[in-house]
């Protein structure tokens, strides 16, 4: 007891400082949690139940670089549906497929090797990825990348028909990732169960393919939509990753892809009202929200927005917004928080929304007045929908490459239209 009193007298001041620091830290952490909770509560999600999917919280995992790198954090199933001999055969086939297109990788620039997850990554362009997909298709493989139609997609349709008839089936899809890595994902239906067996292919200098690793995972479900999306969900999902993965199976015309890339890609259905409100020049003020500028700036410049002191100079803001929308400078100042004392607008950051839909142009018409009418499907794979809603967007192209959104109308299809707060 005397020893304890002596310690308190000797270290009392230090003890008090530590105690105050701990209390302050707890209060600060509580406030931060409250802020985080409010941000999470503001994210709109449709009332859809997710069944048979288990979310894995892995603090060390990240999905920002690519879905392929995140895949390696999924826990491997303890009971694989295929034999060791079949696994070896699939690995040989993956290496054989990669060797068919190794010339495309021969002169690629590779990142420095620092781990199994990043080694063999090369600086790959969209055109190079497309070449790989086309070449693999010529050799009879099912191949795909995000901006190229799936080659030999009929084989995946056959697999799905066999699955529906409860016959044993197996098919492999070769996916070319942005970093040049190739994933050979085999879908297996056997004895009433679904799994994938994944073989990752990385590249050594000179375009030499190597097996990065392999992994077997249980699937909760698969679905091939009438429109042509193959949507699948793993039984275990990494926290903050997508609930479901997908391939566009049926072809989309090159011009629809180009129209999507120019006019629709990067626009949000959940962060502002532009796509979820019926509007034209008569009520354009209904969609004016400070947070929309970040995406419009990216469309205009091709770069991410950078600001000083969380403010955007008025001349830049007004030039871009009056170009891309039928709106006056006065309306912008009335509805977008114009700051008069320093002639600027506030920057309102867009927070990432989990499981957000995206738009794709599926049809279009060129009008006599030079405008283009786009028919856009809102694709929401995380909620098993390839046409959650349909938009009709009218745009006016200009000779300098810019354009103006003139109007939007939206119609509910398979899911409720998001409500933006």
Helix axes 126-138, 84-100, angle to 10 degrees: 120
* CA neighbor of 206 nearest in space, from 121, 111, 135, 110: 110
Burial class (CB in 10 A: 0-12, 13-18, 19+), 309: exposed
Query: Stretch 340-357: mean pLDDT, rounded?
Result: 85
The dihedral built from the CA positions of residue 162, 166, 170 and 171, taken in this order, carries a sign that is positive
Task: Give residue 70's pLDDT band: very low, low, confident or very high (50, 70, 90).
Answer: low
What's the confidence (pLDDT) of residue 39? 31
**Predicted local confidence at residue 99, as pLDDT:** 95
Angle at 55 between CA 51 and CA 58, to 5 degrees: 175
Kindly tell me if the per-residue pLDDT of 380 is higher than 60.
yes
Distance of CA 137 to the CA centre of its chain: 25
- Sorted by where each begins, the domain ranges of the chain are 54-251, 256-412
**What pLDDT was estimated at residue 107?**
72
Ramachandran bin of 309, using left for φ above 0, alpha for ψ from -120 to 50, beta for the remaining angles = left
Query: Is the predicted pLDDT of residue 263 greater than 70, yes or no?
Result: yes
d(CA 147, CA 43): 28
Q: Are 98 and 136 in contact (CB under 8 A)?
A: no
3-class SS letters over the chain: CHHHHHHHHHHHHHHHHHHHHHHHHHHHHHHHHHHHHHHHHCCCCCCCCCCCCEEECCCCCCCCCCHHHHHCCCCCCCCCCCCHHHHHHHHHHHHHHHHHCHHHHCCCCECCCCCCCCCCCECCCHHHHHHHHHHHHHCCCEEEECCEEEECCHHHHHHHHHHHCCCCEEEEEEEECCCCCEEEEEEEEECCEEEEEEEEEEEECCCEEEEEEEEEEEEEEEEECCCCEEEEEECEEECCCCCCEEEECCCCCHHHHHHHHHHHCCCCCCCCCCCCCCECCCCHHHHCCHHHHHHHHHHHHCCCCCCECCEEEHHHHHHHHHHHCCCCHHHHHHHCCCEHHHCEEECCCCCCCCCCCEEEEEEEEECCCCCEEEEEEEEEHHHCEEEEEEEEEEEEECCCCCEEEEEEEEEECCCCCCCCC
For residues 263 and 275, give the distance between their C-alpha atoms in angstroms, rounded to a whole number. Answer: 12
> What is the Cα–Cα distance from 249 to 413, expressed in whole angstroms?
21
Q: What is the pLDDT of residues 139-186, one digit of tens each?
A: 999 999 999 999 999 999 999 999 999 999 999 999 999 888 999 999
Please check whether residue 235 is in contact with residue 220, taking contact to mean a CB–CB distance below 8 angstroms.
Answer: yes
**Range from 108-112, 150-154, 310-314 that averages highest in pLDDT:** 150-154
* Residue 75 confidence (pLDDT): 67
Position 260 scores a pLDDT of 98
180, burial (CB in 10 Å: exposed 0-12, middle 13-18, buried 19+): buried
State how far the Cα of 249 lies from the Cα of 187, in Å rounded to an integer.
Answer: 15
Cα-based distances in Å from 381 to 245, 359, 378: 7, 11, 10
Query: Can you give the length of the chain in residues?
Result: 421
Orientation angle between helical segments 293-301 and 314-324, nearest 10 degrees: 80
User: Higher pLDDT residue, 117 or 294?
Assistant: 294
Q: Which of 115-119, 259-263, 307-311 has the highest mean pLDDT?
A: 259-263
pLDDT in tens, 318-336: 999 999 999 999 999 999 9
d(CA 224, CA 386): 10
Determine the pLDDT at residue 173: 98
How high is the mean pLDDT of the chain? 84
Comparing 123 with 288, which gets the higher pLDDT? 288
Q: What is the mean pLDDT of residues 195-222?
A: 92
Q: How confident is the model at residue 68 (pLDDT cuts 50, 70, 90)?
A: low
Regarding predicted confidence, which is higher, 46 or 246? Answer: 246
Residue 344 in tokens = 């600027």
Look at residue 400 and tell me whether its pLDDT is greater than 80.
Answer: yes
Beta-carbon contacts of 372 under 8 Å, excluding residues fewer than 6 positions away, are 259, 263, 364, 365, 366, 394, 395, 396, 397
pLDDT of residue 348: 87
Lowest mean pLDDT among 49-63, 123-137, 205-219, 377-391: 49-63
User: Where is pLDDT greater, at 112 or 351?
Assistant: 351
Tell me the per-residue pLDDT of 55-67, one tens digit each, with 9 for 90 and over: 555 444 333 444 5
Q: Tell if the pTM clears 0.95, that is, is over it.
A: no
Report the alpha-carbon distance of residue 177 to residue 183 in Å, rounded.
8
% of the chain residues with pLDDT over 90: 66
**Bridge partners for 200 per DSSP:** 183, 213
């Amino acid at each position: 007891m005397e020893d304890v009193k002596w310690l308190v007298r000797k270290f009392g001041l230090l003890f008090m400082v530590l105690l105050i620091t701990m209390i302050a830290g707890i209060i600060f952490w509580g406030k931060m949690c409250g802020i985080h909770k409010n941000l999470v509560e503001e994210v709109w999600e449709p009332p859809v139940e997710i069944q048979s999917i288990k979310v894995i919280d892995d603090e060390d995992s990240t999905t920002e670089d690519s879905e392929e790198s995140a895949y390696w954090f999924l826990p491997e199933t303890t009971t694989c549906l295929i034999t060791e001999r079949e696994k070896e055969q699939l690995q040989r086939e993956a290496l054989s497929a990669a060797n068919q297109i190794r010339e495309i990788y021969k002169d690629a620039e590779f990142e420095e090797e620092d781990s199994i997850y990043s080694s063999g990554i090369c600086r790959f362009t969209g055109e190079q990825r497309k070449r790989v997909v086309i070449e693999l298709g010529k050799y009879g493989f099912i191949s795909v990348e995000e901006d190229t139609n799936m080659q030999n997609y009929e084989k995946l349709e056959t697999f799905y028909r066999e699955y529906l008839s409860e016959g044993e089936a197996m098919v492999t899809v070769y996916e070319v990732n942005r970093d040049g890595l190739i994933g050979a994902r085999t879908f297996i239906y056997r004895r009433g169960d679904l799994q994938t067996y994944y073989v990752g292919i990385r590249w050594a200098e000179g375009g030499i393919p190597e097996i990065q690793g392999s992994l077997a995972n249980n699937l909760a479900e698969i679905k091939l939509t009438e429109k042509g999306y193959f949507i699948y969900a793993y039984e275990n999902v990494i926290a903050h990753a997508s609930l479901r993965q997908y391939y566009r199976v049926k072809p989309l015309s090159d011009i629809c892809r180009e129209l999507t890339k120019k006019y629709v890609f990067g626009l949000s259905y959940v962060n502002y009202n532009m796509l979820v409100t019926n509007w034209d020049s008569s009520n354009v003020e209904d969609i004016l929200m400070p947070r929309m500028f970040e995406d419009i700036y990216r469309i205009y410049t091709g770069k991410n927005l950078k600001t000083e002191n969380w403010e955007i100079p008025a001349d830049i803001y007004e030039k871009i917004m009056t170009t891309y929308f039928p709106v006056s400078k006065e309306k912008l100042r009335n509805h977008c928080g114009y700051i008069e004392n320093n002639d600027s607008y506030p920057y309102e950051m867009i927070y990432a929304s989990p499981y957000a839909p995206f738009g794709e142009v599926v049809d279009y018409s060129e009008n006599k007045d030079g405008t283009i009418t786009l028919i856009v499907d809102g694709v929401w794979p995380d909620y098993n929908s390839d046409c959650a809603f349909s938009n009709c967007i009218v745009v006016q192209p200009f000779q300098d490459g810019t354009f103006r959104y003139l109007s939007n109308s939206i119609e509910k299809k398979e899911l409720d239209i998001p409500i933006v707060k």
